[in-house]
């Protein structure tokens, strides 16, 4: 009986704690990373990017799959965010493929190859000149076993539907430049398997 009462009290306490948690919109929020706050995608800005998308150019293809992760734990706060993986193929050879990592239930979302929750809207940095309804997503990029110093690889996604065909434009670039490498030591890698540039992918 004592065990039942204790479990009941713990359940009530957990429910009260969850209900007391502050919920704030993920998009256009000046306050971010406030402890015990859940930044929720109240306007469903992430949803249009969820799915599998593919770019093809001759014998080269880039496939990206994005999934929405609800209430992901981020240290002392929570947020909705996108996680993803990608596969890059050249002449029938798979150069890199992180799509299988999406089957892993990582506690920390930064372990996925694509991850982020930054929504860019009108007049925000990275969306200057955008219309009021335009949304771009700013996601961090990672390639397994290829961590290059002084590079901050990012992918910026934007819906660019055309003639009823659902498409996304992806700008793949680095936010950092320069080098901290030892001049007497040649770095193992100087770039990523997926080349920097702009890609237009179609929903699969």
pLDDT in tens, the chain (204 residues): 443 333 333 333 433 344 457 999 999 888 888 999 999 999 999 999 999 999 999 999 999 999 999 999 988 999 999 999 999 999 999 999 999 999 999 989 999 999 999 999 987 888 888 899 999 999 999 999 998 888 899 999 999 999 999 999 999 999 876 555 555 556 678 899 999 999 999 999
pLDDT for residue 187: 63
Instruction: Report how far apart, in Å, the C-alpha atoms of 26 and of each of 1, 59, 80, 163, 200 are.
Output: 43, 39, 7, 30, 26
Q: How many other C-beta atoms lie within 10 A of the C-beta of residue 199?
A: 19
Phi then psi dihedrals of residue 117, to 5 deg: -140, 10
pLDDT for residue 183: 56
How many Å apart are CA 100 and CA 113, to the nearest integer? 10
Residues present in the chain in total: 204
pLDDT for residue 1: 46
| 157 DSSP β-pair partners | 137, 170
pLDDT for residue 126: 81
90 three-state secondary structure:
strand
Give the pair of three-digit tokens for residue 160.
Answer: 């660019």
pLDDT for residue 15: 39
Angle made by CA atoms 70, 64, 151, in degrees to the nearest 5 = 90
pLDDT for residue 181: 53
How many Å apart are CA 61 and CA 48, to the nearest integer? 22
């Amino acid at each position: 009986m004592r065990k039942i009462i204790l479990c009941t009290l713990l359940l009530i306490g957990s429910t009260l704690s969850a209900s007391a948690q502050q919920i704030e919109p993920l998009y256009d929020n000046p306050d971010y990373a406030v402890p015990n706050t859940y930044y929720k995608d109240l306007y469903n800005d992430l949803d249009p990017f969820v799915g599998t998308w593919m770019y093809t150019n001759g014998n080269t293809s880039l496939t990206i799959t994005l999934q929405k992760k609800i209430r992901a734990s981020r240290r002392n706060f929570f947020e909705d965010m996108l996680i993803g993986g990608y596969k890059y193929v050249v002449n029938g050879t798979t150069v890199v493929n992180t799509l299988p990592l999406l089957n892993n239930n990582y506690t920390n979302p930064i372990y996925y190859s694509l991850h982020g929750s930054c929504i860019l809207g009108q007049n925000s940095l990275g969306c200057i000149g955008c219309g009021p309804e335009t949304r771009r997503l700013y996601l961090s990029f990672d390639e397994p076993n290829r961590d290059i110093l002084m590079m901050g690889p990012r992918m910026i996604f934007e819906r660019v539907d055309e003639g009823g065909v659902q498409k996304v434009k992806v700008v793949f670039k680095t936010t950092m430049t320069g080098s901290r490498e030892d001049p007497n030591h040649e770095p193992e890698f100087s770039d990523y398997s997926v080349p920097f540039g702009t890609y237009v992918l179609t929903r699969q």
